[in-house]
Amino acid sequence: AQRVTQPEKLLSVFKGAPVELKCNYSYSGSPELFWYVQYSRQRLQLLLRHISRESIKGFTADLNKGETSFHLKKPFAQEEDSAMYYCAPHPLSGAGSYQLTFGKGTKLSVIP
């Protein structure tokens, strides 16, 4: 069964401090991994996907197949990073392959 775990409901860090939002997944096959973000009073939107190997707003995420993790990282947190972050593994093939399953989310609060 598809399962994604974001162990932290709430993460508070000081401005300028490094931040890591954890995500672990359990999937058969090789999923593609996404991070979505929801800023206050805005729509849920894609932040980044691992296949693109990109850095968006200073965030990066490395897929670790051995640990089945896709943690989101940023070296220096900014106040505008405060938001709700959702990890979303997506299987590339197989039954239910288009059912994008989201983690329960982590609320990041950056303290000025």
Partner 1 sequence: GAGVSQSPSNKVTEKGKDVELRCDPISGHTALYWYRQSLGQGLEFLIYFQGNSAPDKSGLPSDRFSAERTGGSVSTLTIQRTQQEDSALYLCASSGTSQEKLFFGSGTQLSVL
- Chain residues binding partner 1 by CB under 8 A are 6, 9, 32, 34, 36, 43-46, 49, 86, 90, 96, 98-105
Whether 105 and 37 have beta carbons less than 8 Å apart is answered as no
Identify which of residues 74 and 90 has a Cβ nearer to partner 1 in the complex: 90
- The encoded tokens of residue 90 equal 């997506």
Q: What is the DSSP letter of 56?
A: B
- What's the Rg (C-alpha) of the chain? 14
Identify which of residues 44 and 69 has a Cβ nearer to partner 1 in the complex: 44
- Collapsing DSSP to helix, strand or coil, 51 comes out as helix
Least distance CB 1 / partner 1 (angstroms): 11
Least distance CB 54 / partner 1 (angstroms): 13
Q: Please list the residues that pair with 107 across neighbouring strands.
A: 10, 84
Least distance CB 102 / partner 1 (angstroms): 4
